[in-house]
Structure 1
Amino acid sequence: MQETMNHVSATLTSLKTTLVEFAVRYGFQILGASVIVLVGFKTAGYLTRMLDTWLEKKTTIDVALRSLIVRLLRFVVVGATIVIAAEKIGVPVASLIAGLGVAGVGIGLAMQGVLSNLIAGMTIFFLKPFRVGEYIDVLKEHGEVVDITLFSTTLRHTDQSLIVIPNRQIAGEILHNYGTKRQLDIEIGIAYASDIGKAIDVATETVLADPRVLKEPAPLIGVRKVGDSALTVSVRPWVPVPEYEQTLLGLYRAIFEAYRECGVDVPHPQREIRVIHAETGAARAALGAPVVKVN
């Protein structure tokens, strides 16, 4: 028992001696490295906030590119901080960087898809085929652009669902950019006996009375189709992208109620059927032709 306790005591003494020697040899280096890391991260946050504020107030670059520049600055400052701190505690940084370079070749081969997204993201940032807030149609998907990162682009449908598309799928594809406004396509049928000029004037007044409708470009309103039982009045105003769905629903109701109030008839679908005279039917039967009966 005494021998075991002596062994434990010797072990603790040796461990204490080792810790003291480590603290004496590396303590100031670890303390210095910790201070460097703390100051570096604080500096990175301060510089990125300053740069973001300056870019927002003094330049006209879009939000996505501004965010990219700010992130790159933070990455550079934090990376430099880590390298300096590693050198402070005696890590062979040159050998470490060389090893990371060799490992990077294998990592690059394994992450070809990620790198493709990165390159495509840089292309989108600098060529600007679309911006945040614009409405686009690409790869049979459409929506308002709400976020652009180095790796993906996020669209929002009118039902508020989000679509995340890898940037490599967008680069090189045919893209339809509506910009920040969209054109509504409203069709309402009126009776043939209705006053066409009055119907167009009423629709125009109703559309222009809606504050969500843009005055420029001017709405396109006129007769678009001649149907079986009605003339189709086409109403095509432009509205801001966020107002598209609500304005579409609101104008359908407003135009229909305006037509009802001013006496423009909005007919139900109808079909005219002519019944052949009975004698004519008998004559056809005598000639061997089939007789069609209408109930």
Structure 2
Amino acid sequence: MDDSLQSLDQVRASAIDMAVRFGPKLFVAVLILAAGYVAGSWIGRLLDRLLAKLTLEPPVRSLLVRIARALVLVLFAIMALQNLGVELLPLIAGLGVAGAGVALAMQGILGNVAAGLTIIFTQPFHVGDYISIAKEEGEILDISIFSTTLGHSDRSKVVIPNRKIVGEILHNYGRIRQLAISVGVSYQTDVNAALGIIETLLNANPRVLRDPAPVFGVTQLAESSVTISVTPWVAVPDYGPAGAELNQAILETFRTQGIAMPFPQREVRMLS
């Protein structure tokens, strides 16, 4: 019984001694980490306001703000560890060995991160652009460190890992696209009258951009018709609706004005 009480007294004495020796240091370390969190948040908000005055993409601003906060937190964490008396050199060496193993296990993720940084800083496209790449196309909805999100006209989304984008051939349409409408009219048609009608319809459609100016004209003399190409520019969201509206308007107006739109036909002669 006396031995048990003596052991409890020793444990209690050791605990009190450790609390006296390390308690103040631990308390100060917690205060340093709390101060680092507050300082990181303040510096992040300040940097965000400064970057808002520059022409930077939102992902770039977000990345720079996060890096600044992380650096401030790391600096205060080092101060807290030094206050506790932790030897930093062995810790850094251990983290280096662990980091090498993690890097080998996460090659795909790290590849996406490297590609994401390349995209963010080189800016081959921006949010709102329409691109075609890796057998996919769509409007850029979001650019992150790991992936890029494309939006389709049917409201579906395609998420492409960034490593699949960097190094590929990229077709960036920007924020406008060019329609490709072909209209066939009879060889007996007054072509100038047909072109005048098309010009009127293009000017009347609010989705058609005035700059750059619409392009239209005769592009082919086919077997049974004269082909007129109509290629105006429209905003990316208006690409589908504008094409449907112009096709319908051309069809109805040509019918009203008596302009024939012949269907493909071929004359076959039988020789005896």
Answer yes or no: same fold by TM over 0.5: yes
- State the distance in 1 between where 2:261 and 2:9 align: 100
Shift of 1:183: 0.8
Out of 148, 156, 160, the residue aligned to residue 155 of structure 2 is 160
The code of the aligned residue for 1:149 comes to S
Residue-by-residue CA offset, 1:34-93 (whole Å, 9 max, x unaligned): 222223222222222221222122x12333322222222122122223323333334333
- State the distance in 2 between where 1:223 and 1:34 align: 77
- State the distance in 2 between where 1:113 and 1:73 align: 25
Q: Does residue 262 in structure 1 map to residue 267 in structure 2?
A: no
* SS state at 1:256 partner: helix
Cα pair distance change 1:236/1:28, threshold 3 Å: same
Cα pair distance change 1:228/1:36, threshold 3 Å: same
Q: After superposing the two structures, state which structure 1 stretch, 163-172 or 19-28, moved more.
A: 19-28
- Structure 1: runs of 5 or more not aligned: 285-295
Give the aligned partner of residue 38 of structure 1: 34
Q: Does residue 180 in structure 1 map to residue 175 in structure 2?
A: yes
* TM-score (norm. length: structure 1): 0.78
* TM-score (norm. length: structure 2): 0.84
Which of the pair has more CA radius of gyration? 1
Shift of 1:257: 2.8
Out of 112, 134, 138, the residue aligned to residue 139 of structure 1 is 134
Out of 212, 237, 250, the residue aligned to residue 217 of structure 1 is 212
Residue-by-residue CA offset, 1:212-266 (whole Å, 9 max, x unaligned): 2221111111123334443332111111223222222222223323333333333
- State the distance in 1 between where 2:6 and 2:155 align: 69
Cα pair distance change 1:70/1:273, threshold 3 Å: same
CA RMSD after TM alignment: 2.9
* SS state at 1:271 partner: coil
- Structure 2: runs of 5 or more not aligned: none
**What is the aligned-residue identity percentage?**
43
- State the distance in 2 between where 1:82 and 1:112 align: 28
- State the distance in 2 between where 1:20 and 1:187 align: 90
- State the distance in 2 between where 1:177 and 1:241 align: 12
Give the aligned partner of residue 123 of structure 2: 128
Give the conservation status (yes or no) of the 8 Å contact 1:181–1:239.
yes
Give the aligned partner of residue 200 of structure 2: 205
Cα pair distance change 1:274/1:34, threshold 3 Å: same
Q: Does residue 76 in structure 1 map to residue 76 in structure 2?
A: no
The code of the aligned residue for 2:49 comes to T
- State the distance in 2 between where 1:98 and 1:201 align: 77
Give the aligned partner of residue 271 of structure 1: 265
- State the distance in 2 between where 1:45 and 1:204 align: 57
Count of residue correspondences: 271
- State the distance in 1 between where 2:187 and 2:8 align: 104
